[in-house]
């Protein structure tokens, strides 16, 4: 086992971010770093996006985060064998010194700069009030991610967490100072985002950075399932290092606001005409067909008051707007005893009223697919003959207020970004290099 650096550790009442020896691709053993990176596992659109990543480079990180096999257990074993082989062959190597890694993403649009710090964060439960989740999780996904982590003994992707420091502090100063030095790597991915990574290894700088971060608590932006996975594995290992921490990217959203986007649903087993027929038959919502392209229809959705959705099916140009839900139906289907902000969420109404009561679609892998990209959701509905349900994003202020009140939003309610690229740094949970299994 490998432990994170034991230097000055803050107490348990704030963010405790420790340096670690990052496992990174070795320059010269791979080509452009962009070719071995991937979006987070749950953002990769399958099968097309997965195939594109697998063929981009034989060492692309997607072979670890989304290993392909006839059975999940074999996929996990395959990922473990692949990781061992890459380490034994010198494709991946651990940095010589523990570090906190400053990570920068710079997009082509104005205001497209994001900076944060990657480290090993001490795992705390929701009751501690230090790391605040805001979404429920799917048990089968947590079980799968836990099995993969056990097999590979590695944190393969950083979670995205946000904190707010209204006034510049030591964390901001050290992060900015790091960006004025030579980076460990720089690359540009196909989406036009430039990525740079630096290592902070000076003991004094690490102490100042950790102390500054310890004054804050964080909101989970992206990675609820991986956080729940890490908590499960921590408990399995009775809190022993290195299983008592998870690799995260912390971003000060007072300086670098995150973008919050919606996550759409595709119901492959429910044709759109049947979905619309049931809505009309129950008078659950007003239904209107929009003679507009998707971008314009989404703008119309954004301007619609109250719970509302866009539906599409086999014909991606046939978009229907659902709005003005029946108040009596909402009263009967949306659980009481929750804040008004939670009861009014589009995702809440979708799952409790439409999916459960009107369509009777079970929230399980075969019944609902979650997609971050509008075009991909429309394409999947067209290909499967099912229904795409397009949602609106939730304001970050609403997300944070509910999280601080301890209220969980429905699973897959938000997509915070820009998300860190997977493959720039991995946190190994066992020493290496390790000889590959026969």
Could you read off the pLDDT of 339-375 as tens digits, one per residue? 999 999 999 999 999 999 999 998 887 899 999 899 9
Could you give the CA distance from residue 392 to residue 262 in angstroms, rounded to a whole number?
5
Q: Give the contacts of 371 (CB within 8 A, at least 6 positions apart).
A: 45, 263, 264, 265, 266, 377, 380
DSSP secondary structure of 226-274: HHHHHHHHHHHTTT-TTTTEEEEEEEETTTSPPEEE--EEEETTS-HHH
Could you read off the pLDDT of 199-245 as tens digits, one per residue? 999 999 999 999 999 999 999 999 999 999 999 999 999 999 999 99
Could you read off the pLDDT of 131-169 as tens digits, one per residue? 999 998 989 999 999 999 999 999 999 999 999 999 989
Residue 256 pLDDT > 80: yes
Could you read off the pLDDT of 165-199 as tens digits, one per residue? 999 899 999 999 999 999 999 999 988 999 999 99
Question: β-strands 159-163, 245-252: how paired?
Answer: parallel
Could you give the CA distance from residue 83 to residue 66 in angstroms, rounded to a whole number?
13
What's the pLDDT score for residue 429?
95
Question: β-strands 264-267, 387-390: how paired?
Answer: antiparallel
What's the pLDDT score for residue 2?
59
The pLDDT-based confidence of 432 (bands split at 50, 70, 90) is: low
Could you give the CA distance from residue 35 to residue 202 in angstroms, rounded to a whole number?
31
The pLDDT-based confidence of 110 (bands split at 50, 70, 90) is: low
Does pTM surpass 0.75?
A: yes
Specify whether the CB–CB gap between 371 and 263 falls below 8 A: yes
The pLDDT-based confidence of 91 (bands split at 50, 70, 90) is: very high
Could you read off the pLDDT of 265-305 as tens digits, one per residue? 999 999 999 999 999 999 999 999 998 999 999 999 999 99
The pLDDT-based confidence of 433 (bands split at 50, 70, 90) is: low
Report the share of the chain in percent with pLDDT over 70: 95
CB atoms within 10 A of CB 170: 17
Could you read off the pLDDT of 4-13 as tens digits, one per residue? 654 444 445 8
* Mean of pLDDT over the chain: 92
CB atoms within 10 A of CB 79: 24
């Amino acid at each position: 086992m490998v432990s994170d650096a034991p230097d000055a550790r803050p107490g348990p009442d704030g963010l405790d971010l420790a340096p670690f020896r990052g496992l990174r691709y070795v320059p010269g053993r791979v080509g452009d770093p962009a070719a071995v990176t991937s979006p987070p596992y749950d953002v990769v659109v399958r099968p097309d996006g997965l195939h594109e990543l697998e063929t981009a480079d034989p060492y692309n990180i997607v072979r670890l985060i989304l290993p392909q096999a006839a059975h999940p257990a074999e996929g996990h074993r395959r990922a473990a064998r692949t990781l061992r082989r890459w380490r034994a062959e010198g494709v991946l190597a651990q940095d010589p010194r523990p570090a906190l890694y400053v990570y920068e993403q710079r997009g082509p649009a104005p205001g497209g700069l994001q900076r944060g710090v990657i480290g090993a964060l001490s795992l705390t439960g929701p009751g501690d009030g230090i790391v605040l989740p805001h979404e429920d999780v799917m048990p089968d996904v947590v079980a799968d991610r836990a099995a993969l982590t056990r097999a590979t003994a590695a944190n393969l992707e950083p979670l995205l967490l946000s904190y707010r420091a209204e006034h510049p502090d030591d964390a901001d100063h050290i992060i900015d100072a790091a960006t004025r030095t030579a980076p460990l790597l720089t690359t540009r991915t196909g989406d036009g985002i430039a990525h740079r990574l630096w290592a902070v290894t000076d003991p004094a700088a690490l102490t100042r950075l950790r102390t500054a971060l310890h004054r804050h608590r964080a909101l989970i932006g992206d990675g609820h399932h991986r956080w729940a996975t890490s908590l499960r594995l921590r408990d399995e290992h009775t809190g022993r290092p290195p299983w008592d921490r998870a690799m995260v990217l912390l971003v000060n959203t007072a300086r670098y606001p995150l973008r919050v986007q919606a996550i759409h649903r595709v119901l492959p087993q429910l044709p759109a005409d049947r979905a619309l027929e049931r809505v009309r038959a129950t008078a659950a919502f007003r239904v209107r067909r929009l003679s507009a392209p998707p971008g314009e229809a989404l703008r119309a959705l954004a301007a619609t008051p109250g719970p509302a959705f866009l539906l599409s099916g086999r014909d991606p140009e046939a978009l229907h707007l659902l709005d003005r839900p029946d108040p009596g139906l909402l009263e009967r289907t949306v659980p009481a005893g929750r804040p008004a902000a939670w009861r009014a969420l589009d995702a809440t109404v979708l799952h409790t009223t439409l999916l459960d009561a009107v369509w009777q679609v079970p929230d399980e892998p075969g019944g609902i697919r979650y997609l971050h990209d509008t075009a991909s959701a429309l394409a999947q509905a067209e290909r499967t003959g099912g229904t795409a349900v397009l949602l609106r994003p939730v304001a970050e202020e609403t997300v944070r207020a509910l999280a601080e009140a301890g209220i969980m939003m429905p699973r897959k309610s938000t997509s915070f970004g820009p998300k860190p690229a997977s493959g720039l740094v991995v946190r190994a949970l066992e020493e290496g290099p390790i000889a590959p299994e026969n």
